[in-house]
Amino acid sequence: MRLCCSLGLPSLGYSKSCWPNHPSSLLPFFPRASLVPVYSFGENDVFRLKVFATDSWQYLCQSIIKKYLGFAPCIFWGRSLFSANSWGLLPFPVPITTVVGRPILVPQSLNPTDEEVDHYHTLYMKALEELFEEHKESCGVPASTHLTIT
């Protein structure tokens, strides 16, 4: 009997620093796992996020902290427990639709080469873009919107 598992990596819109540069850099930790593209529509609307101007001192502080700690602190807020019109740390009640793509089969390798990691990273990102394009209109995203991965 062959045991298999799948690894779904959600795409987070809040910070690029939340995930490794290559989702497939997790291959050594999950040598028998398939990569599964997963996208959640509406996830970015659950909390509000303060975006600072690039010439502000707050942005400079975020950049310095990101340089030394590897992540940028952010200011976010949601709704209150008792009133939907005041701020708090509870998420806003918005629908989230999660779509799951086809698994990307990854051969077992305990020491993948950089080329293999780049290859499966490219396959994953392409599958994620295709998943977004296939489901965006049914999830309320305008047809003119495209997924931008930086």
In this prediction, residue 3 carries a pLDDT of 35
Q: Give the three-state DSSP class for 68.
A: helix
Per-residue pLDDT at 109: 80
Q: Which residues contact 10 (CB under 8 A, 6 or more apart)?
A: 38, 39, 40, 43
Give the C-alpha separation, 147 to 104, whole Å.
Answer: 20
Mean pLDDT by 10 residues, the chain (150 residues): 39 43 53 85 93 94 93 91 86 94 88 90 94 94 90
Alpha-carbon gap, residue 108 to 4, rounded angstroms: 11
Whole-number Å distance between alpha carbons of 62 and 52: 9
Which residue is listed with tokens 């001192």? 57
Residues in the chain: 150
In Å, what is the CA distance from 22 to each residue of 6, 9, 26, 51, 79?
17, 11, 8, 25, 34
Query: For the chain, give me the number of helices (H) and strands (E)?
Result: 2, 6
Q: Is the pTM of this model over 0.75?
A: no
